[in-house]
């Protein structure tokens, strides 16, 4: 079933308003999303996140470890990593839903310039934070200019529609995600920082093309964003996606495609767009155009 095209149209209207009336008229988020596809993270990549966090508030970084199965290991490791890259203050929290529902929990983000979501199981993270006062404060932080980042599960939660990692079809071992078909990929609500897009991670290494293709063909209003390991997508205040790190980002866009569904549930498409983006590429989800950071003018670079 097609969902409403509102998220994409809303993004287009924001871009048009900004070009006509200047930055003061931009009602979109002023922060950044720093979405890492999992795997190893090198120092230059994570230093960029620290620098983004330093640009807002006190630069304090808050790490949430609820996705992890070993949070008391992941928390201190992530704190040490970010501090080694220059972050002046980093803390981590492992919260229950009851704790996150307490209105006082929003104060955990006081002075924060950045928030980091660890990897693990994205459903554990949304179970703890979705629709809580802390979730509302995260939205406000992003709107105001803070940086929200995460890796693996912490990447999947960024979009409005979130892949859980589960498949409805019963598959033999080694045959998981072997089809492109409707009503097979289990999704639920994510944190909604990135409407109109669905994020998948570990994308090339774990051969996740079929499940993301299934979702964008079943719901043509969603842009599929498959982020490979050791790679990040930086969602900028201008609405564009900049690729950072070592590997590629795959974009599936069926918004203008002619799609088909046969009785078996298999899905087809004609005229859909595929981009294989490399570090330095910048993708505009409104126009579908791809440019390069290297080709940007000094004025544009300063505006970022």
Residue 26: per-residue pLDDT: 52
What's the whole-number mean pLDDT along residues 79-100? 97
Q: Is the pLDDT of residue 124 over 60?
A: yes
Cα 275 to Cα 203: distance, rounded to the nearest angstrom: 14
Phi, psi (rounded to 5 degrees) for 125: -70, -45
Cα 244 to Cα 253: distance, rounded to the nearest angstrom: 21
Q: Which of 15, 38, 37 is nearest to 26 (CA)?
A: 15
Q: pLDDT (tens digit, 9 = 90+) per residue, 218-240?
A: 999 999 999 999 999 999 999 99
0.85 cut: is pTM over it?
yes
CATH class of the domain comprising 31-303: alpha beta
Cα 122 to Cα 63: distance, rounded to the nearest angstrom: 15
Task: Count Cβ atoms within 10 A of the Cβ of residue 259 and give its class: 0-12 exposed, 13-18 middle, 19 or more buried.
Answer: middle
Q: pLDDT (tens digit, 9 = 90+) per residue, 243-276?
A: 999 999 999 999 999 999 999 999 999 999 999 9
Residue 286: per-residue pLDDT: 95
Per-residue pLDDT band at 55 (split at 50, 70, 90): very high
How does DSSP assign 14-42, residue by residue? HHHHHHHH-GGG--S--SEEEEE-SS---
Mean of the per-residue pLDDT values of the chain? 89
Per-residue pLDDT band at 172 (split at 50, 70, 90): confident
Exposure class string for 10-31: b at 16+ Cβ within 10 A, else e: ebbebbeebeeeeeeebebbeb
Exposure class string for 170-195: b at 16+ Cβ within 10 A, else e: eeeeeeebebbbbebbebeebbbbbb
Rg (CA), the chain: 19
Residue 20: per-residue pLDDT: 42
Residue whose pair of structure tokens reads 């090339």 in the numeric block: 204
Side-chain-facing half-sphere of 53: CA atoms under 13 Å: 30
Cα 277 to Cα 17: distance, rounded to the nearest angstrom: 28
Residue 208: per-residue pLDDT: 95
């Amino acid at each position: 079933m097609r969902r409403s095209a509102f998220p994409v149209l809303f993004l287009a209207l924001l871009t048009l308003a900004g070009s006509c009336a200047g930055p003061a008229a931009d009602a979109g988020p002023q922060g950044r999303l720093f979405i890492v596809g999992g795997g190893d993270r090198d120092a230059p990549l994570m230093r960029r996140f620290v620098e983004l966090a330093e640009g807002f508030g006190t630069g304090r970084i808050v790490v949430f470890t609820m996705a992890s199965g070993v949070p008391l290991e992941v928390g201190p490791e992530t704190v040490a990593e970010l501090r080694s890259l220059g972050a002046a203050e980093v803390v981590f929290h492992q919260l229950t839903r009851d704790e996150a529902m307490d209105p006082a929990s929003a104060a955990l983000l006081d002075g924060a310039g950045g928030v980091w979501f660890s990897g693990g199981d994205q459903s554990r993270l949304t179970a703890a934070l979705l629709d809580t006062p802390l979730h509302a404060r995260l939205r406000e932080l992003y709107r105001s200019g803070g940086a929200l980042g995460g890796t693996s599960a912490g990447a999947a939660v960024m979009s409005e529609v979130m892949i859980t990692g589960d498949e409805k079809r019963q598959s033999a071992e080694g045959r998981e995600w072997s089809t492109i078909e409707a009503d097979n990929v289990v999704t639920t609500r994510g944190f909604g920082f990135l409407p109109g897009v669905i994020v998948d991670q570990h994308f090339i290494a774990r051969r996740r093309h079929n499940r993301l293709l299934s979702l964008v063909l079943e719901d043509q209003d969603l842009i599929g964003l498959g982020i490979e390991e050791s790679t990040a997508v930086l969602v900028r205040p201008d609405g564009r996606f900049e690729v950072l790190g070592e590997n590629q980002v795959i974009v599936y866009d069926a918004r203008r495609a002619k799609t088909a569904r046969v009785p078996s549930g298999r899905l087809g498409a004609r005229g859909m767009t595929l981009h294989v983006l490399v570090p330095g590429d910048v993708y505009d989800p409104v126009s579908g155009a791809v440019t390069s950071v290297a080709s940007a003018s000094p004025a544009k670079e300063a505006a970022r």
